[in-house]
Amino acid sequence: MRTVPNAQRLLSQTNDPRPLAAIDLGSNSFHMIVGRLQNNQLQLIDRLREPVRLAEGLTKQHTLEPGVAARALDCLQRFGQRIRDLPPECVRAVGTNTLRRAHAAGGFIDQAEEALGHSIEVISGIEEARLVYLGVAHSLADPGGRQLVVDIGGGSTEVIIGEGYQPIKLESLYMGCVSMSQRFFADGHITKAAMKEAILAARLELQASKQAFRRTGWTMATGSSGTIRTVRDVVLEAGWSDNGITPESLKKLRSALVDFGSADKIAFAAVSDDRRPVFAGGVAILSAVFHALKIELMLHSSGALREGLLYDLLGRLQHQDMRESTVLSLSQRYHSDIEQVLRVEETALALAEQLAGDWRLPEPQTTKWLHWAALSHEIGLLIAHSQYHKHGAYLIKYSDLPGFSLRDQLFLSVLVRCHRRKFRPSMVEALPEEVRDYAVKLCVILRLSVLLHRSRSDKPAPEIEAHGTDKTLRLVFPQDWLVEHPLSRADLKAERKQLANFDIALEFS
């Protein structure tokens, strides 16, 4: 997979003055940073943070409590005032652990997007880890050598080993400072027994991955996020360490928290009022990470998920889209027939260009989705020819695909699932309602392109005229082509029945 380019390489390509914004809808806090390219440097011009504590509002039924949802929407409205006029390509907003877990978050996401004025992606834990590492790597004076990066969020903890700007091993663990504090320090009381139980629970969560991280090894350990920054500030303030966090300084911090006995009595200047209720849970997680990975010293990085988002967004604007590398890697891993990929893609893009006006197909999105769908539409063949479109869709939906949000993974999996055989409305119902019609049109284009190259011949596809309305698609082939290709004509007749399921009338001559 292509290495993520470093900051200097990206920034040397342009001096674009447009502001870029990254929004992190975390389980504990919502963050927004705004930056711009100035004299070939990524310059931060605004930074906002609000302690929304979204994870507190996650019910046992995995829904969001109305009061917490309202608090989050109020925050996003304030963020939106700052960035509402920015073009969509200059903004990236992502939701993390709590929104991943909230089964009924669809309605909240719609409201959140309206409040913010921009779309919001829910990303996987592994994608979150990749972006955290990207933000940390770009914040280090010298990103050389192998780095261990730990980020303790409100609902999850990301552990990454990378070298330079490339992550090597990524893990997202189901524990965070909010969830751990709710579980073991829910009443605010901090006891020695509760701290031991919390650390043990965190160590159990690390059990499955600790040996792999130890074997991979690293030269320096770095922490990001508010929890680790606050721990660093406390141990330095108390004189328990001269440089960063050590196991001994953590031990003294745990003892001090137990002596305080209650979250509201924590008297360290570095621990803010909004941090106190979740600080003990974060300390327990960090203590378990130190023990499991045998860390001797951890420094803190100013970079985190939101900085990683900003650099990833910059990469997309500079044609260094991680999603392209991911789909290329996927296609290579499952041994796609590249010649067939190119045939299908060429025909699909030719049809899309002609139908762009009639079907209101946006660019450059349409070109990207058809390119990625062509690259990956046959990956399921490595499993079995029978139902290979279903196998390919499953692989895309459930794989870790760096650069993709969960919604984008689902979108690509639907294109692959629907590129052949049965084509029914139920197959797109899992997609958000606002993109279903677009997905159907891309599926139609992809299906026709695959159909026309079913013989896998090196002969070029015919030059087809394509015209359409919302409910019709007319294809005009060169004279006598359909007569000379009776199998293709039979396939088109069968395809007419499939498109009728979406009330699209296919005509061809």
- Whether residue 503 is contained in a domain is answered as no
Beta bridge partners of 466: 475
Ranges assigned E (strand) in 153-196: 157-163, 166-173
| Chain centre distance of CA 472 | 36
The domain tally of the chain equals 3
Distance (Å, rounded) from C-alpha 9 to C-alpha 40?
10
- 119 shares its domain with 151: no
Q: Are residues 145 and 71 in the same domain?
A: no
Same domain, residue pair 191 and 274: yes
Q: Tokens at residue 107, please? A: 């309605």
| Length of the chain in terms of residues written | 509
Q: Please spell the DSSP secondary structure of 216-250, one letter per residue.
A: H--SEEEEEHHHHHHHHHHHHHTTS-SSSB-HHHH
Same domain, 108 and 150: no
Of 257, 286, 316, which residue sits at a domain end?
A: 316
pLDDT at site 103: 66
Q: Does 471 map to a domain? A: no
Instruction: Write phi, then psi, for 259 (nearest 5 degrees).
Output: -65, -40
Residues of the chain with pLDDT under 50: 1-14
Domain finish residue from 300, 329, 362: 300
Quote the pLDDT of residue 38. 75
Q: Are residues 155 and 292 in the same domain?
A: yes
337 plus 312 within the same structural domain: no
Q: 100 and 148 share a domain?
A: no
CATH of the domain at 368: 1.10.3210.10
SS3 string, 403-431, reads CCCHHHHHHHHHHHHCCCCCCCHHHHCCC
Residue 134: inside a domain? no
What whole-number distance in Å separates Cα of residue 175 and Cα of residue 156?
4
pLDDT of residue 141: 79
**Residue 470 domain flag:** no
Cis peptide before 51 (omega within 30 of 0): no
At what angle are helices 365-376 and 322-333 packed, to 10 degrees? 20
The last residue of one of the domains, among 267, 300, 333, is 300
CA distance 453 to 447: 10
Residue 292 and residue 312 in one domain: no
* Residue 75's CATH number: 3.30.420.40
Q: Which domain holds residue 62?
A: 7-124+308-316
Are residues 269 and 148 part of one domain?
Answer: yes
* Same-domain check for residues 243 and 391: no
Q: Are 327 and 312 within one domain? A: no
Q: How far is 111 from 76, CA to CA, in rounded Å?
A: 10
- Look up residue 188 and give its DSSP letter: S
Q: Is 216 a member of any domain?
A: yes
Q: Helix, strand or coil for residue 189?
A: strand
For the entire predicted model, the pTM comes to 0.92
Q: How far is CA 429 from the centre of its chain?
A: 22
User: Does residue 454 lie in a domain region?
Assistant: yes
pLDDT score for 104: 57
Is 291 in the same domain as 312?
Answer: no
- Has residue 325 been placed in a domain? yes
Residues 6+ apart with CB under 8 A from 14: 37, 318
In a domain, 153, yes or no: yes
- What is the 8-class DSSP label of residue 209? T
**CA–CA gap between residue 114 and residue 110 (Å, rounded):** 6
